[in-house]
Structure 1
């Protein structure tokens, strides 16, 4: 171990250690009972003091006070192991500039070799990026506003429609990561290049799902609370903390079960807050409608949840049957985003 702590240029010290710790000679001395253990231990400790990093000086000094040969030998090997680790770290740090300079080219070359041997190695990654590019290239859903814009554009024959913005690799990659946050757990075609990060991405996905549900609850609640009550920061913060606490409590249970409790608690909170502010309390029909709409948030195909999860759909008006108000979706989304934040 001592020899492994030497630098290549320390040839004289290497020869000295090899001579002092000649295994053949030490074996003969031990067989004839002539092995001077204290002298040998002192020599090793002196070498350790010479070769160790300053941080190990105290540990080596403690070894000098040990008189029991067994404990001393065990302590020497323990400290030598630490010194060897120090040497490894020093070597890595000294080689770091060279490693950084050539690592990218080396990894790229090795990766290309793997692809040449296994052309289908990144099929899932290719499909993942292709899907992201297709999502970015897909036209926005048509609606009344877009139809009016299109008709006005067609009415000017001299105007030429602007071509869509070309997709950059950064845009495609960003869209791909957004898609991963909504990844179906049953989909086995997870990108090969991100398998080691799948656990972290699943944690982010759970956070996004919770925020989506939270924003959906606030969005639905806003249409039943009225502008006066929902305009109160204290009420919105209380509603947000209540919903988040219930979702955390029921995160290990089915989402439908959690939303059943959330809907009842939120409806009760809105009803009580309206009464406390001297406003008209929720009728039994409105309460039942509110609870029903909040429970439906647990469904992925829920209209409100789809609006929250798909920003490109926020340019349309939300259905009055869904939200119970004539407020445009973008305004509600801005209001909800402020509340969630």
Structure 2
């Protein structure tokens, strides 16, 4: 399609289209996240969470206002942290009641339009209303300086004139539709050129109207997504303050909305207290501490707390309030790490069994990773049988090892050696597997080091044994630390206030006897 100087392309295009787009289903906060927000909101059962001031009675209006504030906060957060955020059309389930009702209503409308147009003489009441809606849609795509296009649309789609032509039997719908399609081609994104061409091949008026509205919906989403991408840089600058402000408003209405956060940070402090002499970095050591024992620092406790999120029992334990919007992302990272742990363990066992012959063999590690990853697909589903999958992995790995050894002039594994390797791979299913625990501890150590040095551009050195999975581990680490740093940026004032009280108590406790939470 040729370029048109009046074709909108500014970043100001249709910010109001975002409002239309929000009515569609999108990658923005889904219902499951909202459900978790409701479940973790004050008033939900909390078991052994810390006690706080009881919530005051609130009105329906206050609840609605709070819900709107939370929704807006989640939407802004989603746009910032999700670089692939896009508004998408709502897709109702195939056999759902909503879809059946919608289809029936739409069919009735289009049948009515077709019946009117087949009358003698034709009745254009519905058709004129549709042209009015099309006119509004086309005008909504324009910017203030698109004067010529606005004048063209207003002149050709003059509803008063169209009504007069219809009353006098002089209305030519086909010419109006031809103008509409041409204008849509001028205003649409290049990605929609194919849809515009298809419109020109439809000659029956009712199917053509339906197709026009379908393409207009796509164009509105394109405008909304363009607006989202345009505001993202500005939103990133302001979103931390915006989220903090919205959370503060929520907290003022529900004072006990930091109970889970308090418990989460307390547990992290208790974990570090037990190992304070070994685990704390040197910059956190307080030479004036009693007995020369290091004092916990806020940064170390926060990092430990974020590491705990990677071992969270999502099915039985509510997520801390301040990280609730990112629960799905933290859970995805947790699942990725669990699969990577299996892959790393199988690789370490395989290389240990094969010796130096295969360690530096080009492409061998990638083949094993591919085999393991494919066979562990769905490992977090209830129906997944880990033992059977590991048995299959053992067979495949042994076959690949023998093939590579033979190709490079080495002696293949004996039956006894194959049996040992298969047994070691199947043993990975045990929670007490020593090698699995070793790999897991090194992965956690790497993530801990990256959190502690996240202000540096370079990644920390990968611990021994993790070389074959270094690329995957670093990709996960970058994603994880970016999420953590943004969360710290938003909620650090709350963490500092809570940890100030926790650490004051910790310093007054005898060494090795953390306060019971």
Shared fold, TM over 0.5: yes
Task: Tell me the distance in 1 between the aligned counterparts of 2:387 and 2:257.
Answer: 39
Aligned to 1:110: 246
Judge conservation of contact 1:243–1:262 (CA < 8 Å) in 2: no
Could you tell me which of 313, 329, 347 is aligned with 1:184?
313
Task: Tell me the distance in 1 between the aligned counterparts of 2:174 and 2:206.
Answer: 15
In structure 2, relative to structure 1, the CA distance for the partners of 1:216 and 1:115 (3 Å cut) is same
Judge conservation of contact 1:246–1:262 (CA < 8 Å) in 2: yes
CA positional deviation for 1:39: 9.3
Judge conservation of contact 1:128–1:176 (CA < 8 Å) in 2: yes
The answer to whether residue 434 in structure 2 is matched with residue 298 in structure 1 is no
The answer to whether residue 271 in structure 2 is matched with residue 135 in structure 1 is yes
Q: What residue ranges of structure 1 are gaps of 5+ in the alignment? A: 143-159, 315-332
In structure 2, relative to structure 1, the CA distance for the partners of 1:261 and 1:104 (3 Å cut) is closer
Could you tell me which of 150, 154, 168 is aligned with 1:33?
168
Greater fraction of residues in helix = 1
TM-score normalised per structure 1: 0.56
Superposed, which structure 2 residues align to 1:262-281 within 5 Å? Answer: none
CA positional deviation for 1:134: 3.7
Larger radius of gyration: 1
Count of matched residue pairs: 295
Aligned to 1:156: none
SS of the residue 1:209 aligns to: helix
In structure 2, relative to structure 1, the CA distance for the partners of 1:248 and 1:81 (3 Å cut) is closer
Task: Tell me the distance in 1 between the aligned counterparts of 2:425 and 2:193.
Answer: 66
CA positional deviation for 1:65: 9.3
Could you report, residue by residue, the CA deviation over 1:234-260 in whole angstroms, capped at 9, with x for unpaired residues? 598868955873574365543344445
Task: Tell me the distance in 2 between the aligned counterparts of 1:219 and 1:202.
Answer: 26
Could you report, residue by residue, the CA deviation over 1:14-35 in whole angstroms, capped at 9, with x for unpaired residues? 68866765545543542x3334
Judge conservation of contact 2:343–2:369 (CA < 8 Å) in 1: yes
Task: Tell me the distance in 2 between the aligned counterparts of 1:73 and 1:268.
Answer: 61
TM-score normalised per structure 2: 0.41
Aligned to 1:249: 375
CA positional deviation for 1:113: 1.1
Task: Tell me the distance in 1 between the aligned counterparts of 2:242 and 2:160.
Answer: 44
Task: Tell me the distance in 2 between the aligned counterparts of 1:86 and 1:128.
Answer: 41
> Which of 231-240 and 120-129 deviates more?
231-240
CA positional deviation for 1:116: 1.8
The answer to whether residue 357 in structure 2 is matched with residue 232 in structure 1 is yes
Judge conservation of contact 2:339–2:376 (CA < 8 Å) in 1: no
CA positional deviation for 1:188: 2.5
In structure 2, relative to structure 1, the CA distance for the partners of 1:52 and 1:137 (3 Å cut) is same
CA positional deviation for 1:193: 4.8
In structure 2, relative to structure 1, the CA distance for the partners of 1:135 and 1:271 (3 Å cut) is farther
Superposed, which structure 2 residues align to 1:44-193 within 5 Å? Answer: 44-45=179-180, 48=183, 52=187, 55=190, 73=209, 77=213, 80-81=216-217, 84-85=220-221, 88=224, 99=235, 102-139=238-275, 161=292, 163=294, 166-168=297-299, 171-193=300-322
CA positional deviation for 1:102: 4.7
In structure 2, relative to structure 1, the CA distance for the partners of 1:105 and 1:203 (3 Å cut) is closer
CA positional deviation for 1:98: 5.9
CA positional deviation for 1:139: 1.1
Aligned to 2:19: none
